Structure 1
Amino acid sequence: MRIQAAVPSGAMSFEMLEAFARRVDVMSEGRLKVQVFGAGAIVPSPQILDSVHRGILEAGFAWPQYWSGKHPATSLFSNTPIWPMAGLDQLTHFAWMYKGGGLELYHELLQNVMGVNVVSVFVTPSGWQPLGWFKVPVENMKQFQRIKYRSPPGLAGEIFKEAGVSAVFLPGEEIIPAADRGVIDGAEWINPVEDIAFGFHQTFKRYYLASIHQFIDVGEIVINRGFWNKLPKDLQEIVRTAAMATIVDTFANDIVRNAETIKTLREKHGITVSPTPSDVHAGLMQAAGRVLERRSREDAFFKKVVDSQRNFALTVAPWWGEVLRIYFSLSENAVIRPQASK
């Protein structure tokens, strides 16, 4: 099973795919071999889904928002604005996917609504993503609106534009060349550990941390359905189990390696690392509400997914939101403030 990724071989998400491949090999005792290829190795990244659908590739790796040109609801399964608006997070997104009907809705969207001959296996969460890299300070929303900015595709990009930001989508491999030519003044990609591998710190000197635009983000492996259906049931279950193990592995790596990388960016490369200004969050949240309402009026399936997420949040948020609030309060009072005062 060849998987072409939408990331280069140096990316952490590529490493996680390689770990997924090793798990499949060991658990299947060599009966299923997985080969992972970097961005553009066989087809251009925007063509991954179509290539898997047609059987040119057995499988591909990207994020559901990469297919938003085929249907806007794809983005809701990876970087939905519902969760930050509802007080939920990346973990509760997985709870909705696996226990709240999200995965069934996604396959309904892919197979019945979009008509693509694939199945999806989610594999690499990378939420809590930074606002990104900038050549100039971004101290408020008005400054942000004057900047030419590379955004993700799908809902996130639409929300930026709704908020008055001059946003354009570029594939990962085109971001740094565009910045060097002055085509863009700021850009986001994934997370610190992924970004430093791309060399963002060599072009930009300001980095703004966690933003609501990709508070949730989940990479997926799309697999040609004909290829999938030919696999014995035990190999199908091995693929699913290896993917679940890789989700946990990615969570652990994200927390540790991103923290280490932020320290490296500050201390070794002299990058100014700052929190995203609160009025940028507020402006994006207001824009997200308008986009969700408009898209829900325009498309019945989009509304169906939004309603499912909102109903799930109404059940889970009162409890999980309190857990998150207590965690933050405890850590701030017991660890963050005492350390800052030393």
Structure 2
Amino acid sequence: MGKLTRILSTAALSAAIASVSLTAAADGTTNWRMATPWSGGPWLERDAQSFATHVRELSNGSINIEVFPGGTLGSALKVTDSVKSGVAQVSHNYINYDYGKDQTTALLAGHSSGLTPEEFMLWMYKGGGAELYEQYRLDKFGVVAFPCSILGTEIFLHSNKPVRTLEDFKGLRLRTSGAWAEIASRLGASTVVLAGSEIYSALERGVIDAAEWGSPEMNRPTGFQDVAKYVVLPGIHQSGGVLECQINKKVWDGLNPQQQTVLRDAAKLSVFDSWLSSSYADLKAYEELKNGKNEIVRLDPSFIKAVYEETTKWEDEYAGKNEWFKRVLDSQRTFKKDMQSWPEYRLQIGVSEL
């Protein structure tokens, strides 16, 4: 009887969710639910909410988005499924969580390619990246999606061992994920995939030697610096990237062109907002690391070269067997060639002396 009650309760909950899906309130406002993978922190409380705020303001209050933390509207790592099924009308998500289904996601999320946050924005909005992003998501996953937040350059490692050279890296028990797990393994590391909530204890107990997670702003609250002596830079494994907003295809098709433009513009504004906020927050967070008890270690240029060479081999292999991967990769490589003259006339950010 208890089992039947649970089934009926679940059915009632599902019906309740469906009843508010895509419905307009008495005042004409359309209410949407936003699924996210984030349990808290800047990506939930700042970036996802920023998109919701921009949508409300640009739509003159006609579209209201309620942001839900990870796990509330389905699995935190299967947000795409929640949006595609209609459990959520919209999401704030990381495309690389779908890496197991198609490796092209790594190129769009950011990987060890050398694209900085600023280059990602230029490629997305002037180099055709945003159009490719939207076409790819719709073709391969059946959802409408576009860039919604920019990701800063990550810390390469919080580590209990100093890592400078390729020889130091070989045999390192490393927590990572996605494309970098493949490339790092090819370079000799022993990679382990762990949830973010498990990294601190794994470092503290010596289950792993090192871990990568995010930029200084994202890593500071984790406390990794308290259980790992070395902070290894620069983050060549993730020099930049983006988060996305997804829209259910049926919901998208029900919008008029002006409303669709509102959503794209809100996402673009959110990218700019996130770049400003995260870039500035990273400055303070890094200064705290630098002035704290940790030792800052910088990678040897020969190791950085080895990473980029192995990344190119990895890219070429997938491009040879995945049409979408090749299409996105060709676009990024063309863009990087176009950017080669940039240092010839632009001063480096943060350099006070010539």
The answer to whether the superposition gives a TM-score over 0.5 is yes
AA in 1 matched with 2:206? G
Give the secondary structure class of the aligned counterpart of 2:245: strand
**SS at 1:44 equivalent:** coil
Q: State yes or no: 1:107 paired with 2:134.
A: yes
- 2:3 corresponds in structure 1 to none
Alignment check: 8 A CA contact 1:12 1:193 kept? no
1:277 maps onto 2:300 in alignment: yes
Indicate yes or no: 2:97 matched with 1:66: yes
Asked if structure 2 preserves the Cα contact closer than 8 Å seen for 1:7 and 1:172, the reply is no
**Does 2:348 correspond to 1:327?**
yes
Greater percentage in helix:
1
Q: Which ranges in structure 1 are unaligned for 5 or more consecutive residues?
A: 335-342
Does residue 312 (structure 1) correspond to residue 332 (structure 2)? The answer is no
Cα distance, 1:286 vs. partner?
Answer: 1.7
CA positional deviation for 1:20 = 2.1
Asked whether the equivalents of residues 74 and 106 of structure 1 are also in contact (C-alpha less than 8 Å), the reply is: no
Deviation at 1:186, TM superposition (A): 1.0
Q: Is the 8 A contact 1:61 1:220 kept in 2?
A: yes
Q: Could you say if the C-alpha distance between residues 179 and 62 of structure 1 is closer, same or farther in structure 2, counting changes exceeding 3 Å?
A: farther
2: CA distance, partners of 1:270 / 1:5: 34
| Cα distance, 1:100 vs structure 2 | 2.6
In 2: Cα distance, 1:224 partner to 1:236 partner: 12
- State the SS of the aligned residue for 2:353: helix
1: distance between equivalents of 2:260 and 2:160? 47
Residue 95 (1) aligns with residue 122 (2): yes
**Identity over aligned residues, as a percent?**
26
Q: Name the stretch that deviates more: 56-65 or 284-293.
A: 56-65
Q: What per-residue deviation string (whole Å, max 9, x for no partner) do you get for residues 157-180 of structure 1?
A: 222122111123333233224334
TM-score by length of 1: 0.85
Question: 1:47 aligns to what?
Answer: 78
Cα distance change on mapping 1:276 and 1:61 into 2, 3 Å: farther
Decide whether aligned partners of structure 1 residues 29 and 288 sit closer, same or farther in structure 2, where only a CA change above 3 A counts: same
The letter of the residue matching 1:320 is W
Normalising by structure 2, we get a TM-score of 0.83
In the other structure, the counterpart of 1:217 is 241
Larger radius of gyration: 2
Structure 1 residue 118: Cα displacement: 0.7
* Distance apart, 1:12 and its partner CA: 4.7
2:277 paired with 1:256 = no
The structure, 1 or 2, with the larger RCO (C-alpha pairs under 8 Å, 6+ apart) is 1
Kindly provide the amino acid, as one letter, of the partner of residue 76 in structure 2.
S
Q: 1:36-90: per-residue Cα shift (whole Å, max 9, x none)?
A: 22232332322111221111222222222221111111111121444x2xxx533
| Residue 108 to residue 246, structure 1, CA distance change in 2 (3 Å) | closer
Shift of 1:203: 2.5
Q: Secondary structure at the match of 1:262?
A: helix
Q: Is the Cα contact below 8 Å between 1:3 and 1:59 reproduced in 2?
A: yes
| Match of residue 146, structure 1, among 157, 160, 171 | 171
Tell me the CA shift for residue 125 of structure 1: 0.9
Structure 1 pair 300–237 and aligned structure 2 pair: CA distance change class (3 A): closer
Question: Which consecutive aligned stretches of 4+ in structure 1 deviate over 6 angstroms post-superposition?
Answer: none
- 1:136 maps to 161
What letter matches 1:293 in structure 2?
Answer: D
Q: Give the counterpart of 1:118 among 143, 156, 179.
A: 143
The answer on whether the counterparts of 1:211 and 1:281 sit within 8 Å (CA) in structure 2 is no
What SS does structure 2 have at the residue aligned with 1:34? strand
Which shifted more, 101-110 or 286-295? 101-110
What count of residue pairs does the alignment treat as equivalent? 323
Residue 60 of structure 1 aligns to a residue in which SS?
strand
**Cα deviation, residue 291, structure 1:** 0.3
**What is the Cα-based RMSD across aligned positions, in Å?**
2.3
